[in-house]
Chain A
Amino acid sequence: MADDLEKLQTLDFGHGCGVRNGRNLSEGEKIAVVPSKRDAFMQTGTARPKPRKRILSLTLNGRQREDAVSENLLLVDFIRRVAGLTGVKTGCDGGECGACTILIDGQAVPSCITLAVRCEGRNIETIEGLVKQGRPSRLQRAFHERLGAQCGFCTPGMIMSAEALLRRNPNPDDAEIRTALSGNLCRCTGYVKIVESVRTAAREPS
């Protein structure tokens, strides 16, 4: 337990809001002082050096593009902020919920734990890219018609994971569908109509 508490003291509240466990103070000491002085820049109040930028070229939903991006820019932020496609969602603090799932060269990947600069020359597909000539894909139609989406927040990531599945396995059984989608959390549907939607889409020509 002592070890656990040691570890806890290193946690902070996401943005580094400086919340600390008061336990690391001596027994009699009851004054907790924040901020937590996370690094030298914080202590001096000076600006952190700017991350270097690099020219990144990749294909996004079939369009070639070139952008100057910071080396520490996450792919999800590249897609949302630089490219302006907000279909991809952030639902957690990193790699937990799957709402940010996109395809890199056909593989389903959580874009919130992927650096944009690692996608040089890659083919990125997002939920927006599945609509072809104004027509939603078979998965998008099935999720709509079968109520695979309720609040819809997990839906873009869920559909992209299902898309990757159907490309590598056109006729998945329910167990295979459930395994393929197990990295995408949904809080509305109990997954029943999601599995049904994927099953329905699989029966349609792509």
Chain B
Amino acid sequence: MSRRRRDDDKRPGVPLIDGVEKVTGRARYTADLEHAYALVGRILRSPVSHGEIIRLDVCKAVGLDGVAAVVTGADCPHTYGVLPVAMNEHPLARGRVRYRGEPIAAVAARDAETAERALDLIELEVKELPAHYSSEEARAPGAALLHDNKPGNLEREVHHQFGDVTQGFAAADLVREERISCAEVNHAQIEPHACLADFDALSGRLTVQSVSQVGYYLHLMLARCLEMDTSRIRVIKPFVGGGFGARVEVLNFEIITALLARAAPGKVMMQLTREESFLTHRARPQTDMRIKLGMRGNGRITACECEVVQRGGAYAGYGIVTLLYAGALLQGIYDISAIKYDGYRIYTNLPPCGAMRGHGSVNSRHAFECLLDRMARELGLDPFTVRRANLLQAPTRTLNDLMVNSYGLGECLDKVERASGWRRRHGKLPPGKGLGMACSHYVSGAAKPIHWTGEPHAVVNARLDFDGGVTALTGAADIGQGSSTMVAIAIAETLGVPLERVRVIAGDSAVTPKDNGAYSSRITFMVGNAAIDAAKKLRAILSEAAARKLETNPGDIECAGEAFYVGAGRQSSLPFSDVVKLALIERGPITVSGTFTCPPEAQGGKHKGGAVGSTMGFSYAAQVVEVSVDEATGLVTVDKVWAALDCGRAINPMAVEGQVEGSIWMGMGQALSEETRYADGLPLHASLLEYRVPTAAESPPIEAQIVETHDPYGPFGAKEASEGALAGFPPALVNAVANAIGIDLSELPVTPDRVMEALVAKRRKARLDALAQKAAS
């Protein structure tokens, strides 16, 4: 259902409203905030992967000159966590440690050296317990338990079946099954974690400024862990140097900094090292998958079966949601009549995993798209043909009761097929070069939020005062994705005023309305709709004032170009600033509240876990990847990527392109080089040298195109743009490598050693086959 209005692909978009601060160095990130006389915070971390704390003596540290506070697990008996049903973690360990690097105690001192000396004076004895570092070990019978109430170290299992899978496989012409695994990866946002907490002992008020994507959740957890009234807490989000999911749950160091500030009492600056930022983790888990598809000769999928095992790390975090997403988002992209999903989330003695861009969907999409390609090849079908054979028709509801209201995957396929010269070039490139493609999708905000309170999903306040400027107040966290700019555009467009008249104040709980935060790509869809609603309310007030002056009905008033006027001829027109004055005379300074709520029918199926994956609008993406493989070294080079994303409507096309390019490139990192590794629970990757984020020199040109399907519920028809394209890259790359050298890889990342191993195996098999043939003849 593509309701394209007009071809306006050429709209360039606008720079970010906070862009000048960023390029001139004026933007203040958490570590840049004024803290000249603040105390310095440091954390003592567990030296073992699993152990019982026998003795923890902080007396010498407390006694050290210059130490203002020392806190331990005894200072906070409360658990914290993002899911109300799975808060099983303490900010500072109490009695037991479950991963190497888990916080045990923390110090605030007058300077870094004193804080570090104080840490060294803390006496700690830990009795080591057996530790498990893989899902397999942790699930084995007799394995030591991380959490006594979780037998088999099984955090959660999910078993969903929709449609008749047995019948589906029986109806297939080809049934294939593959085992595919993906390594654990990390967000590696360039800004290391930091938090500045200020506790005023006289007023009993706490102000916390942090790198958070979810200031509201941080607010709630501070109140819970510090046993403070929420009204005495203020949470501010300064400029944030990237998120990607790293900061979508409250992190231990944030609560620890606040505990130190209260204990001191005073202002405490906590800046984690890059190594500690890696240890804090919360990223995409190592995943083992078994995927099985049934297909007819024409490429139509008859059934899908997928088993997913996620190595979750030591605590729950977002784990249950990650596991549910991995199953739920097998749906919503293709028309499949039978799907079975079995998911297992396993506790292991490693830093806890969490949400990362494309949350939950990326690895199972990878397995699916790889197998789809391999089966297409076996049936002699083109990869595009097999995807086109399974397209959905919007509007529709999936088997697991997710709404699909707009669907531009077909157009995405057309665009990348054309741009890449697929028909002309696929299978005809020189040896060692190949083309691969894949599709992906993602939600535009979870239709049922984690902390379900029944309140609107988003609220934006808009203020208008004597200065004639429109100030939008939003709790939405701009973490570089451009959400504040999106809010400004939504308001300016609706009011018919230039962007310069709008100011956005974001992420300060003392000023801005509560917002659930920057996750699940919810901001454009939900906050955008709320911003439009606020602007419409302002417009109604201003139209009324203009109508009185022009002696007409408010309904006859139009506004555009900073003017309010009647009819098309603009015979009687009032400038915006005059109308503001008229309205203020009537009412004084104006503040309106715009809201957005996802209706119950959007909030997913009634089955257990059915809310995860539910959304008002899915984005869709297709991409083609061109690679060169060096068969002597196993090195894979990405030469070019062509991508298209259906984001409903690009509110800011330049920002959409930026998000598509960035997400594809992040998928490339996971596909080619990024991988966390541990030796007995000790991270071997905890620096940006060992954790291989692609550099500019290794990164390809990416040609991103936008498909606009004008979603019926999105703000101006928009859907999300930041996550949907990521999951397509890894399978497109693996499919391209298969196209280049005839090898189907089953593990990510596609490092040279993995490619060489597969090449050597292939050559050996060829030799053995030749020998066998010779012997036979």
Q: Which residues of A contact B (CB under 8 A)?
A: 4-5, 8, 11, 13-23, 30-38, 41-42, 45, 47-48, 80, 85-93, 96-97, 99, 126-128, 130-131, 136, 140-141, 143-156, 159, 174, 177-179, 181-195
Contacts and interface: CB of A to CB of B under 8 A. Distances in A.
B682 A8 contact: yes
Interface string B682-694: 1010011100010
Interface string B386-428: 0000000000000000000000000000000000000000000
B275 interface: yes
B458 interface: no
A145 B20 CA distance: 9
A17 B125 CA distance: 15
A187 B242 contact: yes
A166 to B, nearest CB: 15
Interface string B1-44: 00000000000000110111111111111011000000000111
A151 B127 contact: no
A140 B24 contact: yes
A127 B695 CA distance: 21
A150 to B, nearest CB: 4
Interface centre among A34, A130, A178 (most CB of B within 10 A): A34
**B interface secondary structure, majority:** mixed
B47 A18 contact: yes
Contact of B28 (A86, A174, A178): A86
A25 to B, nearest CB: 9
Contacts of A42: 117, 120
Nearest to B663: A190
B699 interface: yes
A17 B41 CA distance: 12
**A interface secondary structure, majority:** loop
A134 to B, nearest CB: 10
A192 B701 contact: yes
Interface string B254-298: 000000000000000000111110010000000000000000000
Given A35-B120, A190-B702, 19 more contacts: A8-B679, A15-B112, A16-B119, A19-B47, A23-B680, A30-B127, A31-B128, A35-B122, A93-B273, A97-B274, A131-B24, A147-B16, A147-B658, A154-B241, A179-B697, A182-B695, A185-B693, A187-B666, A193-B658
Contacts of A184: 696
Contact of B191 (A141, A146, A151): A151
14 contacts: A8-B682, A8-B684, A16-B119, A35-B121, A96-B689, A99-B190, A128-B26, A149-B16, A150-B480, A151-B191, A155-B23, A188-B480, A192-B699, A192-B702
Interface string B84-120: 0000000000000000110000000000110111011
B696 A151 contact: no
A91 B534 CA distance: 38
A136 B15 contact: no
A180 B242 CA distance: 23
Given A150-B481, A151-B479, A185 B190 contact: yes
Given A34-B47, A92-B688, A151 B189 contact: yes
B189 A187 contact: yes
A187 B479 contact: no
Interface in B151-207: 187-192
B120 A189 contact: no
B717 interface: no
B64 to A, nearest CB: 7
Q: For the complex of A and B, list the 9 residue pairs with the smallest distance between their C-beta atoms, beginning with the closest.
A: A87-B25, A151-B480, A190-B665, A152-B22, A153-B241, A14-B273, A127-B25, A86-B32, A96-B688
A30 B128 contact: yes
A146 B23 CA distance: 11
B697 to A, nearest CB: 4
A150 B658 CA distance: 8
B513 interface: no
Contact of B126 (A32, A88, A128): A32
Interface string B108-148: 00001101110111101111100000000000000000000
Contacts of B42: 15, 17
B663 to A, nearest CB: 8
A136 B19 CA distance: 12
A144 B188 CA distance: 23
Contacts of A80: 32
A88 B695 contact: no
B60 interface: yes
